[in-house]
Amino acid sequence: MTATPTETLITVFGGSGFLGRHVVRALAKRGYRIRVAVRRPDLAFHLQPAGRVGQIHAVQANLRHPGSVNAAVRDADAVVNLVGILFERGRQHFDTVQAFGAEACALSAAAHGAQLVHVSAIGAGEQSRSHYARSKAAGEKLVRAAVPDAIILRPSIIFGPDDAFFNRFAAIARLAPALPLIGGGRTRLQPVFASDVAAAVVAALEGRATAGATYELGGPAVRTFKELMQFLLNTIERQRLLLPIPFGLAKLPAFFLQFLPSPLLTPDQVELLRQDNVVSDQARQERRTLEGLGITPTLMEAVVPAYLQRFRKTGQFRVRSI
């Protein structure tokens, strides 16, 4: 983008979500005008304090309705698509949201001549056993067809306040006597801080990424699922049994858990855990990583304890022995 930030309008789809809040805040700090495209604008008022008066404006948009998508993109200089779901509900299906929804954003960006940054996920693959991962791959393919110069960002597991990973398992550990280690807990993950992903979005918009490239975003350390659960338990100061469960056996409770309003585990997530979720060797060699964008990854040890304090028996306080 050649215009100054105050002259630049960026439409952010999914800007009211967990990652979206970090992206909107990062863009606001740079001085950009931000149009947050969400299904329920009345639920996006919490974003207003992140910017100056009039800098952040929420509009209604539904990825299933191209007309609303075009209206949200009209006059924008750039588009950021953050929309994604972790499980299916009602009309919210993986293909609808993460494949055809991504295409709708890309087609609209192309029609209006807007720059496009699309956030996908490490593990996206057409041959994956996970429907989530296949839909992410389909979305990437459709985005590339519509906007060849689009920059695609693939983060690993994202952590930060209100995340759906550490908070969820900490909540389970507060009540349950054991934490499940799906597949024995050997799956390798590379948790990345939400603010670092937001910084990568800003870097891509400001020309620090190669047009048409795909970047894989991971934190500074690779940990197994078991190691992450041990870190979590140490952080919240609770002793719990770590129970290895084979993938096949884990799908049985996951089948029933998927019907909860906010599922703790689904069969598709079990399939997703069969493969490592880390930055590839090729991405590292080609510097298509956070470091390649000039961003130093944040250690989870520097962030996670602060927002998991509420899961300790004494919160942020320590019991002092006399």
Q: Which residues pair with 9 in a beta bridge?
A: 33
pTM surpassing 0.75?
yes
CA distance 141 to 139: 5
Task: End-to-end CA distance of the chain: give it in Å, rounded.
Answer: 62
Helices marked H in 192-246: 194-205, 225-236
Quickly state the pLDDT bin for 90 (edges 50, 70, 90).
Answer: confident
Which helix (H) or strand (E) segment holds residue 182: the answer is: strand 178-182
CA distance 84 to 34: 20
Task: Please say whether the dihedral angle defined by the alpha carbons of residues 63, 65, 68 and 71, taken in this order, is positive or negative.
Answer: positive
Question: What is the average pLDDT across 196-202?
Answer: 98
pLDDT of 279: 97
Within 13 Å and on the Cβ side, how many CA atoms surround 244? 9
pLDDT of 2: 53
Q: Are 225 and 185 in contact (CB under 8 A)?
A: yes
Residues ≥6 apart with Cβ < 8 Å to 287:
none
For residue 123, which phi and psi values (nearest 5 degrees)?
Answer: 100, -10
Q: Which residues pair with 217 in a beta bridge?
A: 155
Taking only the tens place, the pLDDT of each residue in 113-137 is 999 999 999 999 999 999 999 999 9
CA distances from 322 to 142, 319 (A): 64, 9
Question: What is the average pLDDT across 97-108?
Answer: 96
CA distances from 179 to 114, 226, 241, 245 (A): 46, 10, 6, 10
Q: Is the pLDDT of residue 58 over 90?
A: yes
pLDDT of 319: 59
CA distance 259 to 267: 11
Residues ≥6 apart with Cβ < 8 Å to 223:
188, 189, 190, 191, 231
Taking only the tens place, the pLDDT of each residue in 215-259 is 999 999 999 999 999 999 999 999 999 999 999 999 998 888 888
Q: Which of 244, 300, 278, 265 lies closest to 132, judged by CA?
A: 265
